[in-house]
Amino acid sequence: MMFPTLDPLLHSELRLAVVSLLIGMEEAEFPYIKEQTGATAGNLSVQIEKLSSAGYITVDKGFKGKRPCTLCRITPEGRKAFEDYVKALKSYLVKPKK
Amino acid sequence: MEEHENKEMTAQESLSLISETLNNSRRDITRRSGKYFLFWGALLTFFSLLVYLLWTITGNPAWNCLWFAMPAVGIPLERFMRRRKESERVQNDVSRINGGIWAAFGFFACAVSAFTLLFYELNDGIITNLAVAFNLTPEIALLFGLAECISGFTLKNWVIKIAGFVTGIGGLALYYITGAEKEQMFIFAFAGLVLVITGLIVKHQYK
């Protein structure tokens, strides 16, 4: 049985956690993602940048009052990649028919 | 979660991570919305008792106009609360629907109250034609009960559904049975307590 290839960008624990988090909501600020994933700011920034470069998420940098505010949102491409990834994962778990 | 950037995951581990992350964030965001129920509930109870007190002392029902101060105080305070917490700008389906329901309730309650001002008749500073103003209580109680009941459905909580029904229908019945005047403020004070209880349930249920 041939298994579909898993998207390497999503098949990483932290990036997958970020995308899973954003799938369930409209938008999330960087501190919230950091809080939920328990990642360090540096590592999280790198992974967010990778997801953003792939077009899976958008990152808006602005200000909330005087404080800088980084807002992340999932894109339709990101949503589609996530759905394909979950579909591929499921195929790994299905027992082959004898 | 620790740093696992390069950790190889099995299919089962990946699915567990997705499921766990989705569930945790859903619970977390819904739990956070609990404090806004608490806040608005406390504010509603405070204003109800304040209007009752001033109405009783002065005998002037014009103190009902103080209701307009509630959103004027509450909305900026709520914004301040959201700004103060660094990671507060997150929403999921449940928090968005609940926010929409209560924003719609606030809009209708304010609009219908503002509309009654058109029917005021002042006589030496005292409102004399209160027919329309007084009839607001059952309408607003009903609107409140409806909003609370829908919140109960979105939060999948029977206590909140029943509390909505009791406040809406109970408030309506109480108004027509007792025909009370300033005592109607207790209906709103009770509604405020219902919101506080809702907030506590949400915080506890999604802990």
What would the DSSP string read from start to end of A30-52?
Answer: HHHHHHHH---HHHHHHHHHHHH
Cα Rg of chain B (Å, integer) = 21
State mean pLDDT over B86-99: 74
Q: How far apart are the first and last CA of chain A?
A: 11
CB-side neighbour CA atoms (13 Å) of B42: 11
Q: How large is the ipTM?
A: 0.82
- B141 confidence band (pLDDT: 50, 70, 90): confident
Q: Which of B5, B12, B22 sits opposite A47 (nearest CB)?
A: B5
Interatomic CA distance for residues B125 and B127, integer angstroms: 7
Name the percent of chain B lying above pLDDT 90. 15
Above 80 in pLDDT, residue B40?
yes
CB-CB neighbors (< 8 A) of A64 in chain B: 83, 89
pLDDT of residue B87: 56
Domain boundaries, chain B: 25-205
Domains within chain A, CATH numbers bracketed:
13-90 (1.10.10.10)
Q: How many contacts (CB atoms, under 8 Å) link A and B? A: 95
pLDDT of residue A26: 76
A31 shares contact with chain B (CB less than 8 Å)? yes
Q: Quick one: closest CA in A to B13, which residue?
A: A13
Of B35-39, B51-55, B153-157, which range is least confident? B153-157
Closest Cα to residue A45, out of B18, B16, B3? B3
- B147 confidence band (pLDDT: 50, 70, 90): very high
Q: Which of B5, B7, B87 sits opposite A31 (nearest CB)?
A: B87
CB-CB neighbors (< 8 A) of A85 in chain B: 14
Q: Quick one: closest CA in B to A6, which residue?
A: B11
Above 80 in pLDDT, residue B128?
no
